[in-house]
């Protein structure tokens, strides 16, 4: 299948496929070395938003230099093929290792995790969150060196690309509860995934399986991980405690940064008498429950209400004697005390009645979170609320959301809405173009890249100590934001 990319990289064979790109074993003809080259799928290469993000995030990954991160050598484009040239790591993925061997010996598992966590620590220092940590994205050489791959690229996957069952099932096994709730990825989301990877190394399988992605996500949100010590009693409690802390559902209980996790990995084998880590929650505080008023009074719920009413009647009979004693005490109080108690009772009853009415009134609901969804998804989600989506849609640029995705709503998410209300949407008209650093780049290559982003390129020449044809200055600074809808944008 011999083919040359950029007159330099000879493709030898296909060695991997992902949701957005294909990975080939290749040879760098100039440097005469074996490399791996990842090429963006043709269908995505036609989308300028994906291309821009691919280039920007690949550049960010290239800035990472660490022995436990796959090194990026080059990023480019050739005949509408966008590629990343990277270090070729002979060996297998951590997933393949687990599938072949099952549970890994605790000492080896700790060694692998030290390497992986060390690499992630470097990324987090530079503000890069992996977002898709799993054994499939960790390569292990025959000599036992672990290297993390696919930095930043995972964040490119929009909902449109995560529709394949294998993609969903593969990632959800390592998905932090807050991500399953639709919250943003943070360093603690990566830490949760690291905890699940550590569990899988020690157990030989993931903690939660299910028939559907929703089932798996719910388990991550609601259930404790099965005990590692029940599976293998020889594992020290201090080792399991690392998994427990890394995968804590409450972010306050979870490691706040990977450095803390790395410190525990370095010392866990020196703490043989450690007690099991348990998080204490306030069990007396009842959680807020939002009821769907339309389904509240169906036949099943009516049965529950009837049985509850019978229970209350039983309690009422049992408490009659106690009530008589309270009335006797009340009669013996002076007038001021009696008035104070009656006023207090009326106030509490009034507040309670208001809250009950506000929560079960048939025409009242809470505005759902529509951010990041498109208009069609919003229409589908709002059907049951019997509200109208305004035709007056606002469009604005966004740092976070792709073109066509909802940036915000009016009313805001979580606020009260009722039947007949009008919902206004603010939709992203695309992300800002973030200007790269072209200093030191060949002027022809820089001009070509900028023209693809829609810039009019003005070239000025001056004498310099730099190599002829090298960019020595640019009129728009690196990381400056530019409106992609501005048709007259130019750069010198």
The catalytic site residues sit at 132
Cα distance between residue 191 and residue 194, in whole Å: 5
Cβ(175)–Cβ(217) below 8 Å = yes
Cα distance between residue 304 and residue 307, in whole Å: 5
E strands present in 388-474: 388-389, 394-398, 406-410, 416-418, 422-431, 433-434, 456-457
Cα distance between residue 118 and residue 67, in whole Å: 9
CA separation, residue 274 to residues 201, 238, 268, 279, 368 (Å): 21, 6, 9, 15, 44
Cβ(254)–Cβ(245) below 8 Å = yes
Q: What is the DSSP string of 292-350?
A: -HHHHTSHHHHHHHHHHHHHHHHHHHHTHHHHHHHHHHHHTS-HHHHHHHHHHHHHHHH
CB atoms within 10 A of CB 406: 21
Phi, psi of 365 (to 5 degrees): -145, 170
Cβ(152)–Cβ(58) below 8 Å = yes
Phi, psi of 292 (to 5 degrees): -85, 105
Residue 91: strand pairing partners: 141
Angle at 211 between CA 206 and CA 215, to 5 degrees: 75
Edge-to-edge strands, sheet with 72-78: 3-5, 9-17, 21-28, 33-40, 81-87, 72-78
Tokens (6 digits) for 285: 């505080």
Cα distance between residue 466 and residue 351, in whole Å: 76
Cα distance between residue 357 and residue 198, in whole Å: 49
Tokens (6 digits) for 317: 């009979």
């Amino acid at each position: 299948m011999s083919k040359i990319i950029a007159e330099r990289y000879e493709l030898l064979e296909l060695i991997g496929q992902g949701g957005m790109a294909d990975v080939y074993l290749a040879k760098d003809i100039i440097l005469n070395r074996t490399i791996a080259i990842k090429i963006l799928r043709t269908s995505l290469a036609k989308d300028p938003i994906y291309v821009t993000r691919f280039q920007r995030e690949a550049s960010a990954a290239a800035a990472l230099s660490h022995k436990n991160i796959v090194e990026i050598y080059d990023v480019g484009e050739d005949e509408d093929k966008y590629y990343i040239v990277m270090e070729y790591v002979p060996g297998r993925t951590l997933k393949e290792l687990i599938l072949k061997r099952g549970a890994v010996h605790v000492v080896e598992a700790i060694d692998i995790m030290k390497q992986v966590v060390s690499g992630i620590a470097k990324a987090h220092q530079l503000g890069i969150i992996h977002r898709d940590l799993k054994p499939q994205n960790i390569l292990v050489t025959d000599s036992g060196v672990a290297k993390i791959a696919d930095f930043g690229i995972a964040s490119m996957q929009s909902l449109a690309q995560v529709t394949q069952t294998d993609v969903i099932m593969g990632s959800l096994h390592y998905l932090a509860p807050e991500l399953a709730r639709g919250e943003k990825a943070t360093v603690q989301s990566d830490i949760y995934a690291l905890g699940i990877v550590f569990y899988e190394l020690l157990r030989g399988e993931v903690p939660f399986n299910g028939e559907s992605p929703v089932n798996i996500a719910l388990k991550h949100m609601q259930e404790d991980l099965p005990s590692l010590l029940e599976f293998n009693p020889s594992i020290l409690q201090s080792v399991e405690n690392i998994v427990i802390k890394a995968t804590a559902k409450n972010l306050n209980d979870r490691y706040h940064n990977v450095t803390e996790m790395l410190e525990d990995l370095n010392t866990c084998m020196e703490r043989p008498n450690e007690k099991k880590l348990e998080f204490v929650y306030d069990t007396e505080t009842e959680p807020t429950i939002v009821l769907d008023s339309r389904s509240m009074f169906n036949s099943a719920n009516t049965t529950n209400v009837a049985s509850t009413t019978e229970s209350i009647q039983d309690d009422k009979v049992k408490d009659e004697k106690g009530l008589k004693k309270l009335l006797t005490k009340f009669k013996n109080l002076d007038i001021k005390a009696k008035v104070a108690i009656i006023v207090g009772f009326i106030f509490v009853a009034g507040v309670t009645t208001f809250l009950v009415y506000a929560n079960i009134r048939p025409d009242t609901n809470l505005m759902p979170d529509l951010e990041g969804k498109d208009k069609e998804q919003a229409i589908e989600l709002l059907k049951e609320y019997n509200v109208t989506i305004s035709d007056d849609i606002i469009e604005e640029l966004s740092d976070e959301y792709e073109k066509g995705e909802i940036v915000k709503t009016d009313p805001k998410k979580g606020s009260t809405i009722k039947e007949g209300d009008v919902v206004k949407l603010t939709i992203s008209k695309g992300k800002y173009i973030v200007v790269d650093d072209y200093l030191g780049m060949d002027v022809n290559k820089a001009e070509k890249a900028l023209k693809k982003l829609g810039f009019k390129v003005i070239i000025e020449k001056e004498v310099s100590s730099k190599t002829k044809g090298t960019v020595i200055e640019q009129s728009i600074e690196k990381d400056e934001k530019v409106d992609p809808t501005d048709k007259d944008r130019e750069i010198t």
